Amino acid sequence: MTTKSKYPISNIWSALCRRILHIQLGKMHYLLLNIDIDAVNKQLEDFDLPVKELTYEDFLLSNPQTFNARKLEFIKIRLQCPNYKAFGIIENSKLIYSTWVSLEKLGLSVDTKEIKLNPDEGLLEDSFCDYAARGRGIHGKMNYWRIKKLYELGKRKVIAIVLDGNTPAFKVQYKSGFKELGTFYNGYIFGYKVNTLDKKKFDNIEA
């Protein structure tokens, strides 16, 4: 399957859509993984970095440019919800990697309705790797680490939502064993929220 649009919209046309027509619509790819815990454990055999469940104070150990006041407030709200969990790696008193999972809801950048995960499903949320820590393969290993953690929390399927054209994210998820079930659109048209995801349709597709 393709990881980006065959005929991408030019930057100029995209800017016109956003500013004049108030259209900001993203094509999203819905990926699913049925967890094979033996395969996941094999991929983590050589991963020895100390991962911990993060607190709000841990996020303050990141570079000041990484999380501004607005993002920190969003993080604080998320951490108060038991169905969101943040994990990360602190090295030399600095947060070099952070990542999230959702245990109950399928959150989107533009929500038009609450979409619940099935009881056996978990969702991979956003991740951030400090610039100085990139190139060490941390993101790929942490993808497997999150899958294993979700398995330990009773999940047997994992969902990932990837924005069309985000080739690095596709590579990581495909390498981890994810399969694409289909696409949907999420964003704004003329200032109105748009979300075309019909999760029940994907629930009936075998990965």
Q: Could you give the 3-state DSSP secondary structure of residue 186?
A: strand
Q: What does the pLDDT read at residue 5?
A: 47
pLDDT at 20: 55
Predicted pLDDT of residue 6: 46
3-state class percentages of the chain: helix first, strand second, coil last, to nearest 5: 30, 30, 40
- Please tell me the predicted confidence (pLDDT) of residue 107: 81
pLDDT, tens only, 15-47: 655 555 566 788 999 999 999 999 999 999 999
Instruction: Locate the domains of the chain by residue range.
Output: 28-203
Q: How confident is the model at residue 8 (pLDDT cuts 50, 70, 90)?
A: low
Nearest to 3 by CA among 204, 189, 162: 162
Tell which wins on pLDDT, 66 or 39. Answer: 39
Mean pLDDT highest for which of 7-16, 104-113, 114-123? 114-123
CATH placement of domain 28-203: 3.40.630.30
DSSP per-residue string spanning 55-103: -HHHHTTS-TTTS-HHHHHHHHHHHTSTTEEEEEEEETTEEEEEEEEES
Residue 202 pLDDT greater than 70, yes or no: yes
